[in-house]
Structure 1
Amino acid sequence: MTDLITQRLTQLAETDIGETLQPIRRGIEKESLRIDSQGTLAQTPHPKAFGSALTHPAITTDFSESLVEFITPVTSSIDASLASLADAHKFAYSNMGDEQFWPLSMPCYVDDETNIPVAQYGSSNTAQMKTIYRKGLHLRYGSMMQVISGVHYNFSMPDAFWPIWQNILGDTSDVQSFRSTQYMGLLRNYYRYAWVLPFLFGASPALCSSFLQGKEQDLPFEKLGKGTLFLPYATSLRMSDLGYTNSAQSDLYVCHNSLEDYVKCLQKAISTPSDAFAQFGLKDADGNYRQLNTNVLQIENELYSPIRPKRVALPGETPTQALRRGGIEYIEVRSLDVNPFSPVGVDKLTIAFIDLLLCLCLIEESGPRDEADQQRARDNMIKVVHEGRRPGLMLERSAGPVSLREWGEDIVERLQPIAKLLDQGQRQRTYQQALSAQLRRFQQPELTTSGRLMEQLVKGNLDNGQFGLHLATQYKKLLTDVPYQNQSDSYWQQLASDSIQQQADLEAASAPSLDEFLSDYFARNQQPFSL
């Protein structure tokens, strides 16, 4: 712990922790594939009983009709967030017949990419744009990669924190600019520690061999059961070049040294033509869109990154337009696998540890990221997702090589005073419990989520499919039987009904043509930075 960080934490400790640190604001977005009773991808449309995927605030779809996304409201309580997630699952389970949710990040058995139905949202311009974007993703990267599931964690500091933190740092800029600058510093530090979450919580060391059909790869996979492939020390193949971290974007440079630089890089990518993507064409012979454009990125969401700066957009706004208007509102962490040992895919101690890591990233000094810094982060991530549990694995810090265990123990030590502050006055020592649990994982990698998963697969010579289907059946019964924690069944039924009516209202309203709608949307994206 540096003297500067100690000084800053001492000053924070003199404030009202209940106002400045403890009410961290958070939301969870958790993806799950719908599967049939045999454990294969469901071919049915998004269940109407769930409500409208376009307008429902808590149950929607991602890439595919079969890929459900659960979204919790923003709260300052970890328990409340998890209760909301469990309630949404309970309602869905009660309205999906014999289908279940696949409890792993890497997809279930899919015999052909053509059997992955692209999500449909209706006939409004917004709905058509969402579907066209997904068609573009299919053309550019293939559908198999798009049905990898994950958990996204949205994080923001309470409003009361910022003026106090600004005073501690002696900053005199306006609060909005100060907050954005601090969040960008958090992002830069997070990239330096990005390997930590896949090591601790990665849950995709194995995959169904059907996932690799048509893919060129040279990883030294070993085989389990009838068709499961694994790497003995892997942690998160979802975060490898096979999965969420797409090699097609390896040459795309996005600067995180300021919000202005970040927005300009995204704007450039969205407006720069791509020869590779132009070959697919913008429209087919009948004049139907095949993708939103033929540029490097169709829209901002196409950027594959482990973390993003975000602001809730107003109707019609692009994500970068929202950032230009009001600065960064919250941070979205995107590098978390679905935890197969949790009925809802994530647990309390995981969330608490992420809070701690993000607080450290915010409090620590964060210089600019140069090419060497970025390359170290990439190399460390590749090592950890492929062989993070290998004994004696070495990583690279700016000061030189260091063992993963030594670096992990150092991070835990630096998180200790933050954990004590966040636990101050609380009945449960959740944050200190989270640190103790993760310290054991750095010292005994077999206790990590991937280590526990591989132990069960290898011990029983199990396929991913057998293991996943068993858990899916178990979790459906569990969450169907438990009572609602936050809301009632009638609440969820009303939410579904309201969302269907909202979609109908959108489709009935007069609107410009789809061509005009898209032209106007992308014109807004290119407005100059104005913070």
Structure 2
Amino acid sequence: MSNQEKLSLLGHSGGFGLEKESLRVTMDGRLAQTPHPFPGNKHIDRDFCENQVEIITNPEGSVRKAVDSVREYHEYVADALWNLESGREVLWPFSNPPRISGEDEIPVARFSGELAERTAYRKYLGRKYGKRKMLLSGIHFNYSYPPEFLQRIFEDSGEGNYREFVDSLYLNLARKAMMYSWLIVALTAASPLYDLSLFEESQRDRVRDLRLATVRSSELGYWNDFTPTLRYESTEAYVASIQRYVTKGLLHSPKELYYPVRLKPAGEYSMEGFSGGISHIEIRSLDLNPLSPFGLMEEDVEFLRMLIGWMTVLPNHELSEERQKSAIHNMKKAASLDLENVILRNADGTRSVLTDKALEVLDRMERDLGKSSTLDFQRNKILHPENRYSEIILDRYGDDFMKSGILLATRRFHGQ
């Protein structure tokens, strides 16, 4: 089966799931101290903090349905918070948190009973990484190949074991997604504004010098205190490469691996779950986008769908430890406001200017996938810096981060 036949067979289909984190804040822009208002709702949970709402959609059959699901849950949560008996609250629209007086006002998520271990784990994370960093909020994109596609290309492959074939497909996809993680960050970065209270005193001069378009994906963002490298030659090797960091005491559990691309089993995330095979891939580097009323642009999710399809038919390659380290380096560098000055490390050891490399990739995608308004939308961000989310956000809201956050959070209730 040719690459074009595979792309045609894959089409726009698949399983699309989204997870969106947002902080609950009071009308004066302070972190809410109230209990999670949606107990028992599997689609509206909390992440690190008691006041960090996490919207979790079902896997949907199209990008449009997944984005609509996020919007509907966001509106439901926003309406409920606006009408809380304990006092009005809103969802903070930025990935970077509002002003923080101190770590005492960051309440760790309160789980009890059989789930009490989750609270203990979060306290451990707060001690290790600092509670401020745990307030950074974003969006995770989950994708699974449609069963019909997998079955057809498996039959065409002549391979003998279906489960191993599917796992190999996801492992190769994860390799490629790591190598292009810089492009996702460059095109979707949307958190150039922050309050200096997010950072320790020792970091504040450094963050000014960095000129960041996104904090979460930068060197000051959500990373482990070492650079992990994983193995992708088999599911067993992948699991073992994560587990070794737990065994060495570098990680409390596999969940602590802060990596931009994850492979996931079905059900609860655990290494034991991989015995049933790989279920889907998770891309974890999207910022909340305050230019959208619900924090997410459909064009960006559609681009991720196209990127996954394109990467699926790219030639497979090895992802050595050195290449993985380069991929992480490139992703952190892509968090810059000044993309024209960012130099990427290529897999062959050469260097490229990020904007030149981005245009090259988008042109290759267009040759393989055909012309698309989605690719034009992304290309214009590279060709015209004023179209990048970070530049628009700085221009519109850069004068007063705190005031802008409240105005954006309440626009739904003022017809804006």
1:391 matched to 2:340? The reply is yes
CA distance in 2 between partners of 1:30 and 1:446 (Å): 26
**8 Å CA contact retained: 1:93, 1:476:** no
CA distance in 2 between partners of 1:445 and 1:405 (Å): 10
- After TM superposition, list the pairs within 5 Å mapping 1:84-483 onto structure 2: 84-96=69-81, 97=84, 98-123=88-113, 125=114, 127-168=115-156, 170-216=157-203, 219=206, 221=208, 231-232=210-211, 234-246=212-224, 248-250=225-227, 252-272=228-248, 295-313=249-267, 319-324=270-275, 326-387=276-337, 389-399=338-348, 400-416=350-366, 419-420=369-370, 432-458=372-398, 462-477=399-414
Give the counterpart letter for 2:234 in structure 1: S
CA distance in 1 between partners of 2:78 and 2:357 (Å): 42
**TM-score normalised according to structure 2 size:** 0.92
1:42 aligned counterpart, secondary structure: coil
1:249 aligned counterpart, secondary structure: coil
2:258 aligned counterpart, secondary structure: coil
**8 Å CA contact retained: 1:205, 1:450:** yes
1:31 aligned counterpart, secondary structure: strand
Alignment RMSD (CA, Å): 2.1
Q: 1:256 to 1:478 in 2, by over 3 A?
A: farther
CA distance in 2 between partners of 1:302 and 1:375 (Å): 18
**8 Å CA contact retained: 1:191, 1:377:** yes
CA distance in 2 between partners of 1:173 and 1:434 (Å): 38
CA distance in 2 between partners of 1:476 and 1:142 (Å): 34
CA deviations 1:96-152 (Å, max 9, x no partner) are: 2310000010111111011100111222x2x11111111111111111111110000
CA distance in 1 between partners of 2:388 and 2:169 (Å): 31
**8 Å CA contact retained: 1:356, 1:418:** no
Q: Please tell me whether Structure 1 or Structure 2 has the larger radius of gyration of its CA atoms.
A: 1
CA distance in 1 between partners of 2:242 and 2:415 (Å): 43
Percent of aligned pairs sharing the same letter: 29
Aligned partner of 2:60 in structure 1 is 75
TM-fit CA distance, 1:167: 4.5
TM-fit CA distance, 1:158: 0.5
Count, aligned residues: 410
CA deviations 1:173-200 (Å, max 9, x no partner) are: 3111111111111111111111111111
In structure 2, list runs of 5 or more residues that go unmatched: none
CA deviations 1:344-384 (Å, max 9, x no partner) are: 11121110001111222222122221133123212222322
1:10 matched to 2:4? The reply is yes
TM-fit CA distance, 1:417: 5.1
Q: 1:454 to 1:173 in 2, by over 3 A?
A: farther
TM-fit CA distance, 1:217: 6.0
1:332 aligned counterpart, secondary structure: strand
CA distance in 2 between partners of 1:413 and 1:391 (Å): 18
CA distance in 1 between partners of 2:287 and 2:237 (Å): 29
CA deviations 1:72-102 (Å, max 9, x no partner) are: 1111122222222222122222222310000
TM-fit CA distance, 1:396: 2.3
TM-fit CA distance, 1:164: 2.5
CA distance in 1 between partners of 2:385 and 2:154 (Å): 39
CA distance in 1 between partners of 2:177 and 2:240 (Å): 21
Aligned partner of 2:32 in structure 1 is 42
1:450 aligned counterpart, secondary structure: helix
TM-fit CA distance, 1:172: 0.9
CA distance in 2 between partners of 1:242 and 1:471 (Å): 26
TM-fit CA distance, 1:392: 4.8
**8 Å CA contact retained: 2:34, 2:51:** yes
CA distance in 2 between partners of 1:86 and 1:235 (Å): 24
Q: 1:159 to 1:344 in 2, by over 3 A?
A: same
1:32 matched to 2:22? The reply is yes
Q: 1:450 to 1:118 in 2, by over 3 A?
A: same
CA distance in 1 between partners of 2:29 and 2:204 (Å): 26
Aligned partner of 1:486 in structure 2 is none
TM-fit CA distance, 1:153: 0.5
Aligned partner of 1:283 in structure 2 is none
Deviates more, 1:24-33 or 1:399-408: 399-408
**8 Å CA contact retained: 1:34, 1:99:** yes
CA distance in 1 between partners of 2:207 and 2:94 (Å): 22
Give the counterpart letter for 1:466 in structure 2: K
**8 Å CA contact retained: 1:187, 1:361:** no
Task: Name which structure has the greater RCO, CA cutoff 8 Å, separation 6+.
Answer: 1
Give the counterpart letter for 2:251 in structure 1: L
Q: 1:320 to 1:220 in 2, by over 3 A?
A: closer
Give the counterpart letter for 1:192 in structure 2: M
